[in-house]
Structure 1
């Protein structure tokens, strides 16, 4: 017997046509560099996207050619998300927060042929222009100023194109549509290439009710950059559902985001913990210093990821009626792998238990297989205690890197991705990230989780942020050192912080031996704590136990 279902390939082009047909009057809002707002309907966006695809083909784009983007979050970047693959190309988002040398290396490694760049980012482009020569550089006049000579004008190309006569490039569902590079904090960045099939499947899974929970009536504010793992895939889901998107452009300061929320109140907002931490601190300070200036959108949902989300941050937003969902994933996983949502098993759980679970990485989403592999090569039991490296596989998880294959330090012999994250899993399937393999602290033969220490320190009322690293110790091998940033006008000494950690269940031997007070914690281009820099700064100095 054979199945009778049609063999219709999964394709982003279907999502584009769906949006242009069903959601023509729905809107997209973009914030310009001068903070003014511009609105496009999905009907306008659809025609502009097809015009972009037609223009790229007229410029000579061939199937599989890479088209890089160096752009903030706005409607034209969303046009690239669908127009480039529609023409047969592969969209390659360049991370504008990397150094010019790194951007140049990545563009060269990907063999990018064309570049689409915001005019306000041309100074950055010029810093790496000699490292990789693009055949065409197309400038989007984001600021409204004329495009400089020597560059192609994005708007002029679209105006001269024929969206009605455009014909989609022939493709299969396994053809590439986009690529992103890993953060590269421990070595050179590596390229991950997504397909039509993987992107559509990821979109369908992530849009489920317990995850993004997208509805056609939603208003989505993607603070997560569109160059960071494709803004976690949310642009594809919004187009699929015709959801209104409000793009913040380059304005990511807490004041700017809070101002934008007053103009266009979101029902769902996405961002990394750093953004949300500074936003809630700014908001709560304004409640006393500038009462009435801002109001957080009632009932807004928020998905936060990219780094561990401390329970204190979740509780802070909950006080204002906003529940934070924490997600975990990587560039290699498209990225959604787990989300911590209120499962049926928590229906009768206490408030404290619900918060404790919300601060975990969550439960694996459908189609993702996840295991914890211990040092002895066995799978860790689901006891909530035994740690192991997270290994995953599934239809939207990469099986290799562009040009680098499947090195054994990143992939197992039986085909699982080695994430480098260490975690536990309990009987309810909740994953709790304890550390990166390189960040675990082994003291006297016992493991100490830097993430647990960081989250507990950030629960102290005087602490804004905290990062914990290992420093060498002659007796114990390694000891924890805490780098602490205090809130404005507040402080605490080492003894007070130690007592705070003891009250949170840590044993004396687990407490940091040193507390370094710093102005700011260095971060990677994606907002994660840059512990490599902290280790360079402090780890060469042996620990000295503080009283």
Structure 2
């Protein structure tokens, strides 16, 4: 360790801890009258929000929640969820954001594994909760959250109904100081095999992530996505990496926030119009659903800035959104990274380039944000050059990366092998620092000794005018090891077979974008492509489905 000079502090100098409570106080400092909106049902100011956070803290404390306890939330995106994101960690407890789209068995596993002691349950999930409550091993008390006029609580060991409890609680709470390295939040990420894995983040990590995100999306001129005059509406679930951490940024800046509850594309468009939303974030599939909604037809979405993450942003979606007035910006992160790692920043050189070149870089994963480091590593743990050509696993360092998987030391060591977080993504980094994600390691198609990127193929196939949605996976092949298989959803009234797709891809072969053996020899046209609980393409399930179709000789498979 380098021996540096450290000067003494004054005896009474205050050692300021990086705690989530500091983010809360800032918003009302700047814009006390700004609104927080829930659907068409609730609307209140930041001043009221701060009081409600204090009321919730009092309710939880009186119910017996102590520092270090884990408090779980089962809710749609709401003002209540936002209050929980602050009140629970601010009293020293740990917020467990339950992924309500997991199976009941997986939800049960995550609650027992996280050792949840208190659970706040939306009335829409009461039957789900009741189906597993007899198998919960640590839960002591529950609180009902509901939009209904009926406030009676059907839950076992119920303290009461959320709004009724808040109405009776004090609007003041002396939030204490404590160690900034205390765990603030936890949630579970699903992999291809085994049980979901618990990731966790400290107060310090969340505050640093918030500051880095704010400096990226609010300060860099070629991005400039969120200022405190914007109107923010998340379209990424709050149970998924704290809605990508953006509610903390929006609250710190005093931004008007709009929470849509259960995601319904028609209602999202209605909310966008009524509340004059200017900033959102989502995965590509959700944006496609919104743009295809009946309420969206003929609508000019001018002024709407959206961060796309979770899955690769392809050119076809970028162009389609741009034609509707939407400014898309690609970003990269994952559950283990809190999540923001990089964002598509255009430097002076790129801004002076052609429109086609600017688009090429706007849909890449982008440049690492402040305080984040990225590198490329081969299978032997050796670093590869940042030349835009060398492919390897993307590895990361940043002060807000999860330090491991909860109660899984072996998997934690694998995650952090060699002192870098391993993402499982194949990528390149060029001389300008741009990260280009080529594929997940497990999704790379290995054919004839060559690696093909399923993401590159999806991008090129999506440019066909008949294609609304596409997923490409590798399927077993006795001669080549694997061959690419394309699953397609077509636009209404359109048709496409494997032969026509081959003709569409031929020019990209001739231009050197892909090799000729990258052209899928089989496709299937379906009405819907399987998605994960957070809206990503579920390639594990897609592979299983394709094998079953092939074995059954399904008629809707098209072969060149």
TM-score range relative to shorter protein: over 0.9
**Distance in 2 separating the partners of 1:408 and 1:257:** 38
Matches within 5 A, 1:142-181: 142-150=147-155, 151=158, 152-164=160-172, 166-181=173-188
1:291 counterpart residue number = none
2:38 counterpart residue number = 30
Q: Which moved more, 1:307-316 or 1:152-161?
A: 152-161
Secondary structure, aligned partner of 1:399? coil
Let me know the Cα RMSD of the aligned residues: 2.1
1:238 counterpart residue number = 250
Matches within 5 A, 1:162-241: 162-164=170-172, 166-208=173-215, 209-210=219-220, 213-241=225-253
Give the drift of 1:460.
1.0
Partner residue of 2:366 out of 362, 382, 403? 362
Q: Which moved more, 1:213-222 or 1:429-438?
A: 213-222
Q: Which moved more, 1:254-263 or 1:224-233?
A: 254-263
Aligned CA distance change for structure 1 residues 285 and 366 (closer, same or farther; 3 Å): closer
* Aligned 8 A contact 2:403 2:412 in 1: no
Partner residue of 1:260 out of 268, 271, 287? 271
* Aligned 8 A contact 1:120 1:143 in 2: no
**Distance in 1 separating the partners of 2:85 and 2:20:** 9
**Distance in 2 separating the partners of 1:66 and 1:332:** 19
1:290 counterpart residue number = none
Partner residue of 1:282 out of 272, 280, 293? 293
Secondary structure, aligned partner of 2:330? strand
Give the drift of 1:448.
0.5
Give the drift of 1:408.
6.5
Secondary structure, aligned partner of 1:91? strand
Aligned CA distance change for structure 1 residues 266 and 492 (closer, same or farther; 3 Å): same
Secondary structure, aligned partner of 1:496? helix
1:301 counterpart residue number = 305
**Distance in 1 separating the partners of 2:59 and 2:174:** 12
Q: Which runs of 5+ in 1 are unaligned?
A: 288-293
**Distance in 1 separating the partners of 2:204 and 2:196:** 24
**Distance in 2 separating the partners of 1:451 and 1:484:** 14
* Aligned 8 A contact 2:530 2:537 in 1: yes
* Aligned 8 A contact 2:497 2:558 in 1: no
**Count of equivalent residues:** 534
Secondary structure, aligned partner of 2:245? helix
**Distance in 2 separating the partners of 1:284 and 1:71:** 26
Partner residue of 2:125 out of 121, 124, 127? 121
Partner residue of 2:145 out of 135, 140, 152? 140
**Normalising by structure 1, what TM-score?**
0.93
Matches within 5 A, 1:467-546: 467-504=471-508, 505-539=513-547, 541=550, 546=559
Aligned CA distance change for structure 1 residues 144 and 225 (closer, same or farther; 3 Å): farther
**Distance in 1 separating the partners of 2:416 and 2:83:** 37
C-alpha offsets along residues 259-296 of structure 1, whole Å, 9 cap, x if unaligned?
Answer: 11110111111111111112223379823xxxxxx442
Secondary structure, aligned partner of 2:131? helix
Give the drift of 1:488.
1.7
Give the drift of 1:406.
5.1
Give the drift of 1:146.
2.1
Give the drift of 1:314.
0.8
**Distance in 2 separating the partners of 1:361 and 1:79:** 31
